Amino acid sequence: MRFGMRKLAVLAMMMVFGGAGTVGAVDLKLGHFAPDGHPCDVAAKQFKQNVEKRTNGAVKIELFGNNALGSPPEVLEQVLIGAVDMSLSGQDQLAKHLPFYDVISTPFAFKNYQAADKVIDGEFKEWAAPDLLKKNLVHLSDWEWGFRQLTNSKQPVMVPADMKGMKIRTPPAFAYQAFVEAAGGNAATIAFSELVMAMKQGVVDGQENPIGTIYSLKLYETQKYMTIVNYTYSSMVHVVNKRSWEKLTPEQQAIVREESRSSALLARKLLRDAEAEQLKDLETTKGMVVAHPDLKPWKDAMGPAWDKVKARVGADNFARFMTIADKANQ
C-alpha cells in the first residue's frame, strides 16, 4: 500500500495518540470519503456525538472524513487489517473483496429509493452480513450516497447514442464501468480524490455521481450538461473490524448499532430532502442544462452490462438478487 506523506503522518499520529482520552475508553477510528458538509459527513458527526454521550465517554469515535486517511479503497484495506477500526465504504469497494457485492449496482435494478431501502435493509443485508463477517467485517448499516446521474461538458445526452465516443470518469467500480460501456461511452478510471481536478483539466468529457456529490464538489463549474438517469443506487456501508468490535461490551455494541442505524436514516433524509433544491439551483443559478430523458432506451441498452455483472457474480447470485429487487419494485 502506497500512501502520500500527509496520509502517513496522519496514521503515525493515530498510533502515537490513539490511547489518549478517557481512561479505559475504547477509541474507534472512523474513516470515510464524504466531503465536508455532505449528508454523510453530518451524519458521521451525529454518530460520534451520540455514541460518546450514550456510553458516557467510554467509547470514543475519531472521525477522519474527506479522504483524510487515503482513498476509499485504501481506507477499507486499513479496516480489513485493523489499522483503522471502521469505515463508510462504497459497495463497489467491498466488491473488490466480495465480488457478489457487485449485484447491488446492477444498472436499473431499482425503480426508486423506497425499493432500494427494502433491499439493502432487508434481504440483501441478511445475505451480505455473514460473508462480510468472514472477512472480519461486522456490518452495521447502509448510509446514503444516492442514485447516480451523468454529466458531461460536450452536449445534451438524451439517448445512449449521444454518449458514443465520450470519455466518462468512473471509480474503479465494475458495474459502473459496465453501464458506461453498454451505453456507448468509454469508461476511464480516476480516483475520487482526483475527480475535481480531472474535470478541470479536461482529462475526461464527463462523469457519473449522485446529485448531492455533483453539487457539493461544484462539478457544475466544468460540467454543463446533466442527464437524470438514476441508473444505479449506491450507498456507504458502515463496517467495523471484528477485533475492534469485540473490544466493546454487548451494551456498547447495541448502542453503536442503534446510532449507526439512526445516522444512516439521517443521511438518507438529508440527502433526499436536498436533491430537489440542489437540482433547481443547478439549473437556475449554476447554469447546468438538465435533461430528463425517457429511460426505456437506456434500459434496453443494458443487456451487455447485465451479462457482465452476471458473469462476475455468478448466474445464481444474479438471479437471487434480481428476484429480491423485482419483489421490492412491485
| pLDDT single digits (tens) 110-127 | 999 999 999 999 999 999
138 pLDDT tier (thresholds 50, 70, 90)? very high
Nearest 5°: the CA angle 157, 37, 275 is: 35
pLDDT of residue 5: 46
Is a pLDDT exceeding 90 seen at residue 100?
Answer: yes
Assigned fold of 147-232+275-329: D-Maltodextrin-Binding Protein; domain 2 (3.40.190)
Average pLDDT across the chain, whole number:
93
Average pLDDT over residues 65-69: 95
Average pLDDT over residues 166-189: 96
Assigned fold of 5-145+235-274: D-Maltodextrin-Binding Protein; domain 2 (3.40.190)
Is a pLDDT exceeding 50 seen at residue 3?
Answer: no
Average pLDDT over residues 136-142: 98
63: how many CB neighbours lie within 10 A of its CB? 15
pLDDT of residue 324: 98
Per-residue pLDDT tens over the stretch 287-315: 999 999 999 999 999 999 999 999 999 99
**For the sheet containing 236-241, what is the strand order?**
59-64, 26-31, 86-90, 236-241, 137-142
Question: What is the phi-psi region of residue 178: left when phi exceeds 0, alpha when psi lies from -120 to 50, beta otherwise?
Answer: alpha
Q: Which long-range contacts (CB under 8 A, 24 or more apart) does 218-223 make?
A: 219/151, 219/195, 220/282, 220/286, 220/287, 220/288, 222/153, 223/151, 223/152, 223/153, 223/199, 223/288
pLDDT of residue 212: 95
For 205, how many CA atoms within 13 A lie in the half-sphere containing its CB? 18
Tell me the sheet residues that pair with 137: 241
Per-residue pLDDT tens over the stretch 252-279: 999 999 999 999 999 999 999 999 999 9
pLDDT of residue 327: 97
Is a pLDDT exceeding 80 seen at residue 4?
Answer: no
Cβ neighbours of residue 145 under 8 Å, at least 6 residues apart? Answer: 40, 90, 210, 213, 234, 235, 236
In three-state secondary structure terms, 158 is coil
pTM for the whole structure = 0.90
pLDDT of residue 158: 98
pLDDT of residue 24: 77
- What is residue 107's DSSP assignment? T
pLDDT of residue 23: 52
pLDDT of residue 21: 41
Domains 5-145+235-274 and 147-232+275-329 share a fold: yes
Per-residue pLDDT tens over the stretch 13-55: 454 444 334 457 999 999 999 999 999 999 999 999 999 999 9
| Domain ranges (residues) in the chain | 5-145+235-274, 147-232+275-329
